Amino acid sequence: MHDIKWIRDNPEAFDRALARRGLSGESAKLIALDEKRRAAITKAEAAQARRNAASKDIGAAKKNKDEATAQSLMAEVAALKDLMPALEAEEKKLSAELNTVLAAIPNLPSDDVPDGKDETANVEHHHFGAKRNYSFEPKQHFELGEELRQMDFETAAKLSGARFVVLKSGLARMERAIGQFFVDVHTSEHGYTEIAPPLLVRDEVMYGTAQLPKFEEDQFWAVKGELLVGSDNAMGAIRAQRLGLIPTAEVPLTNMVRESIVEEAELPMRLTAYTPCFRAEAGAAGKDTRGMIRQHQFNKVELVSITTPEQSKDEHERMLSCAEEVLRRLGLHYRVVTLCAGDMGFPSQKTYDIEVWLPGQGMYREISSCSNCGDFQARRMDARYRTKEGRAVRHVHTLNGSGVAVGRALVAVMETYQQDGGSIAVPDALQSYMGGKTVIERAT
């Protein structure tokens, strides 16, 4: 959410920043709406002030035995009392209209974000490792998994439809091992506090991190319904209460500070969670239809930081290094790119993507996205902190990053560590989590 006061003071800068996102200017529309809202507030306040003054004058008139004036004032107070609900309703209507427009506008890119319309303008920041050479033609993960009889898309489709998978035996254990390894490193070495959050959240929580209202079709919803007897519909009517299945643990972790004021001494607050994630992938028709790259359900280790504005830039670099470290220990080749203004996510002001090399696909694929959202989410959540001096209350800055996507890490390990014949060598960092197992071979 944007600060309308800042937009009033900096309309040209606001529109220039939106233009970098490929969007038209919105400042004139927003300022016009805000002027109407402020006028309605002024009118309501003036009416309330006059009502208060007239109420006091009634007493003075009665004391002076001026009954005509007292009756006139009483009539005025009654009229103002009747008018006040309409004035308040108008102010609420205009405030809601302004907030609706503001809620649909993405965050503004930082000055150091490269310009560009799409991923072709992203800038490589650095890379780690090198592409491996194989004495055979490397296979894609789904070919390896199916030949090992440990990755079953057909059964998953019977159970749930497309974009699901059943993992078995060694691959099921390796996925669990990867997630546990990531969490252990982030909690024991990187200072993150492990959280086990709810997987179902309210609409206002989705709104807080900007999944709503823009991305409603990308969410899965769990609906609790109450059957209303006597409906004309043969099935009855349903009075539904819905909760959203989290698309990422960023949603509950970031919202842990919603509608609250934390002390500056508590910041930075660093949280991590290993959870299932659920995405409808409404805009991904025809993309990555085979394999585990883009699924409706997947596991991910998430990193979230809550900081002061002064800390957030350094915290962003720190978060990126934490996500990189777990990939380095797995010996995976990757590159880090800075996303251009036109390719960033809706709530982000700056994003680094980590793209891992997949030998079977012969291309880099995103495995982590680390974003600094500034105070954009905090304003939506009303999340603030009290400065050390105690003289001011300010909005926190929020950051999030994958630390990292466990399913995609499994894909990367499988394709990177595949051996001639189709077995998968277990990386050294995972062997203790695999009970000492060093190779995953075809199930008999």
The yes-or-no answer on residue 279 being catalytic is yes
Residues 6+ apart with CB under 8 A from 323: 303, 354, 368, 370, 401, 402, 403, 404
The yes-or-no answer on residue 110 being catalytic is no
Instruction: Calculate the alpha carbon distances from 302 to 128, 133, 195, 210 in Å.
Output: 21, 32, 10, 17
The yes-or-no answer on residue 369 being catalytic is yes
SS3 of residue 141 by DSSP? helix
Instruction: Considering the candidates 132, 294, 386, 394, report the single residue annotated as catalytic.
Output: 294
Instruction: Considering the candidates 20, 173, 270, 279, report the single residue annotated as catalytic.
Output: 279
Nearest to 353 by CA among 315, 323, 311: 323
Instruction: Considering the candidates 305, 369, 371, 402, report the single residue annotated as catalytic.
Output: 369
Q: Where are the beta strands (DSSP E) in 165-265?
A: 166-167, 193-194, 200-201, 220-228, 237-245, 260-263
Cis geometry, peptide bond prior to residue 114 (ω within 30 degrees of 0):
no
The yes-or-no answer on residue 329 being catalytic is no
Q: Which residues face 241 on adjacent strands? A: 224
- Alpha-carbon distance of 68 to 177, in angstroms, equals 86
Helix pair 169-188, 406-416: axis angle to 10 deg: 120
Question: Which of the 8 DSSP states describes residue 109?
Answer: P
The yes-or-no answer on residue 258 being catalytic is no
Instruction: Considering the candidates 37, 270, 384, 408, report the single residue annotated as catalytic.
Output: 408
Cβ 301 vs Cβ 186: under 8 Å: yes
The radius of gyration computed from the CA coordinates of the chain, to the nearest angstrom, equals 28
Cis geometry, peptide bond prior to residue 77 (ω within 30 degrees of 0):
no
- Alpha-carbon distance of 267 to 135, in angstroms, equals 51
| Helix residue ranges, H only, 66-168 | 67-103, 141-147, 153-160
Q: Assign residue 378 a region (left: φ > 0; alpha: ψ between -120 and 50; beta: otherwise).
A: alpha
Instruction: Considering the candidates 366, 386, 423, 441, report the single residue annotated as catalytic.
Output: 366
Where in the sequence numbering do the catalytic residues fall? 279, 294, 366, 369, 408
